[in-house]
Amino acid sequence: MPRVLFVYTSADKKLLGGPTGWYLPEAAHPYYVLAPHAEIDFASPNGPNPPVDPHSVEDYTDEKSQNFLTDVAVKEKFSSAKKLSEVSVNDYDAIFYVGGHGPVIDLASDPVNIQLASQFWQEGKIVSAVCHGPAAIVGATDSNGESIFKGKEVTGFSNDEEIAVDQVKAVPFLLEDRIKLLGGKYTKADEPWGPKVVTDGKLITGQNPASAQPIGEAILVALRG
């Protein structure tokens, strides 16, 4: 059975002090797609029990999201989550970065995470992320030192969506702009909040919360490929 590492932010505050963390449906929806078919471990910069964005708990009352909060197996994975510094790339077939504004705050600039993501990519493993999750791989590079986004079709939380939630000043950079700056071929759904998942080789990205289920399905296809 393939093994997948879910990586969560450890950040609980945005630049202006508002609460953040990992975004509930962006973990729950792909988890329940993949869990029957893969072994899944959790990790974060600080290890066990990374903070969930409280707004996502309030806003997403669908069955999968709420089950994720009470699922005994999930709770065990959170309580035993590895620190990123403890992760061995050789143990996994894929890495998946859960969204929420948190990854822009900590994972984007975390040297341990940047090295980890780069290792996954350079060893030909699946690198995937949803919503703000791609911010966690803006520092990842290939064996030539080039951004893994360069020349690749990529999506992630759009400028329009960031403006719509009035969080432009709460994050250190806009993800859409950064992807383009790094040479990525940024693409997005026709309308804000619409689902959009892009697979370009081993790189799989999703735009927003609506893309969480579809990115789980895309990762599963890639694992089986």
**Using an 8 Å Cβ cutoff, are 99 and 136 in contact?**
no
pTM summary value: 0.99
pLDDT reported for residue 89: 98
Portion of the chain with pLDDT greater than 90, in percent: 100
**Domain carrying residue 132:** 3-223
203/76 Cα distance (integer angstroms): 29
| Residues in contact with 55: Cβ distance below 8 Å, sequence separation at least 6, in sequence order | 19
Q: In total, how many domains does the chain have?
A: 1
pLDDT reported for residue 23: 98
55/222 Cα distance (integer angstroms): 31
Which pair of tokens denotes residue 45? 């910069």
**pLDDT tens, position by position, 173-183:** 999 999 999 99
| Residues in contact with 191: Cβ distance below 8 Å, sequence separation at least 6, in sequence order | none
Q: What is the CATH number of the domain that holds 74?
A: 3.40.50.880
* pLDDT bucket at 101, cuts 50 / 70 / 90: very high
**pLDDT tens, position by position, 7-34:** 999 999 999 999 999 999 999 999 999 9
